[in-house]
Amino acid sequence: MKTFGDRLLRATAHFGPVCVGIDPHPQLLDAWGLTDDADGVEKFAEICVEAFDGTVALVKPQVAFFEPYGSGGIAVLERTIEVLRASGTLVLADAKRGDIGSTMDAYARAWLGDGSLGADAVTVSPYLGFGSLSPALTLAEANNRGVFVLAATSNPEGGQVQRVVAADGRTIAQSIVDEAALCNAGAEFGSVGVVVGATLTEAPDVSALNGPILMPGVGAQGGGPDSVRALVPEAMLRSVLPAVSREVLREGPSVSALRARLNAIQDEFAFLRS
């Protein structure tokens, strides 16, 4: 099997660079005329799968919006991941897991293994130290999966940690990007990506990453093509995955309307493929 990085490059070249979320937020469930329970979440996910399966490079279910419904919600998430991956659509589980030792190993086996929650990639938090991610990084490499490491998030509270300057003169966010770049050294295109908010006013230098850059905050949160261009060096633009959720999902439950809005956003970011 090709590495996640290789498969992602091939998928974005074919479908476009946009990563679309599946976020069954209670407000969206209500707007779509669905019940705020596991049955409503299942219908929501089914509509999203119909709209996005085989039409987009990367789909990102937000795990948090499935968890409130207990085993029923997790069962929906399992089926959603299974159906998407079975058709060849890449799945990024937005779980933001981060811990140490055997606990991190268990998270890695859950999201990067061959079990029912196993996805093509998972988001992780490095703020117990980048080294704490070792179980996820090791399993991802062994299983040809990917990892997206939170580096510079757009929430105001993130700066309390991420923009702190360490003894070596780098911000913590920059050190995270640099560690991820080391993981990708020698690859044609690495499978360890970073998360950088599209609404930031400044971002860490990603020029040496040689891996994917997930940029949430596009659309409803204010990010767009101009902000991406301002934050990412031109030579790295092909690595950017603009992540959209509400901007597309608010067009539901019409499958045709969801696809139309997604296609319009793909057109806005067509420059990332050049």
| Torsion sign across C-alpha atoms 168, 174, 176, 182 | negative
Phi-psi region of 152 (alpha: psi -120 to 50; beta: other; left: phi over 0): beta
If one counts every other C-beta atom within 10 angstroms of the C-beta of residue 238, the result is: 18
- Give me the residues paired with residue 193 across strands: 148
Residue 76 to residue 84: CA distance in whole angstroms: 12
Distance (Å) of CA 167 to CA 23, 65, 158, 171, 182: 39, 38, 19, 9, 20
**What burial class does residue 205 get, using C-beta atoms within 10 Å of its C-beta: 0-12 exposed, 13-18 middle, 19+ buried?**
middle
Provide the 10 A C-beta neighbour count for residue 54: 11
For the question of residue 96 being annotated catalytic, the response is: yes
Residue in 2, 43, 60, 96 annotated catalytic: 96
Q: Is 173 helix (H, G, I), strand (E, B) or coil?
A: helix
Asked whether 63 and 73 are in contact (CB, 8 A), the reply is no
Q: Which residues are identified as catalytic? A: 96
